[in-house]
Amino acid sequence: MIPVERLVVAAVLVALAVVVAVVLDRRRVDAPTQARWAVPTQLDRSDFARAEAAWLVAVFTSSTCDSCAGALARALPLESAEVAVQEVEVGAEPELHRRYGIDAVPCLVVADAAGVVRASFVGPPTATDLWAAVADVRRDPSEASGSAGAPETGR
């Protein structure tokens, strides 16, 4: 038979463990809210080269950004008679970065002839995702959200 003293000690230890667990749980800080970067939803096509092209892939970059070069390299093969691809480097064109509220690079937007952003990426997209987004919006611009989702969500 177990002595009563051992049962009392065990009960006290269990109660103490429960109290410590409750105190530690209350002290836990919630995870911080993740930042969401602004992505323009409308562009003035006259701000960009080849305003007459049916589609624009604007690649907002910075010369100090390592992943920007890769994002631009993935976008350049999309250049065609129908698709204008333009790099907008912050050092060369700071006013466009300010005008469109670009606060993270690389930021790629795919805009139609009216300047409505149909797909966007914040951060370097894969070639597959970028090319699929452009193909999707070119196929049916009225229903397209691109593989990146709505412009305000981006990637």
Q: In the chain, where are the structural domains located?
A: 1-30, 45-139
Per-residue pLDDT of the chain (155 residues; tens, 9 = 90+): 678 888 888 899 999 999 988 888 787 776 676 667 889 999 999 999 999 999 999 999 999 999 999 999 999 999 999 999 999 999 999 999 999 999 999 999 999 999 999 999 999 999 999 999 999 998 875 644 443 433 333 44
**Entry pTM:** 0.70
| Per-residue pLDDT, 1 | 66
Write phi, then psi, for 81 (nearest 5 degrees).
-60, -30
In angstroms, the CA 127 to CA 33 distance is: 29
| Per-residue pLDDT, 87 | 98
| CA atoms within 13 A of residue 113's CA, in its CB half-sphere | 8
Task: Give the torsion through C-alpha atoms of 145, 130, 62, 79, to 10 deg.
Answer: -110
| Per-residue pLDDT, 61 | 97
| Per-residue pLDDT, 23 | 84
Cβ–Cβ < 8 Å for 57, 78 = yes
3-state helix, strand, coil in the chain (%, to 5): 40, 15, 45
CATH topology of domain 45-139: Glutaredoxin (3.40.30)
SS3 state at 68 = helix
132-137: long-range pairs with CB below 8 Å, 24+ = 134/55, 134/57, 134/78, 134/83, 134/110, 137/55, 137/110, 137/112
| Per-residue pLDDT, 37 | 84
| Per-residue pLDDT, 122 | 95
Paired with 60 in beta bridges are 88, 107
SS3 state at 27 = helix
Cβ–Cβ < 8 Å for 45, 94 = no
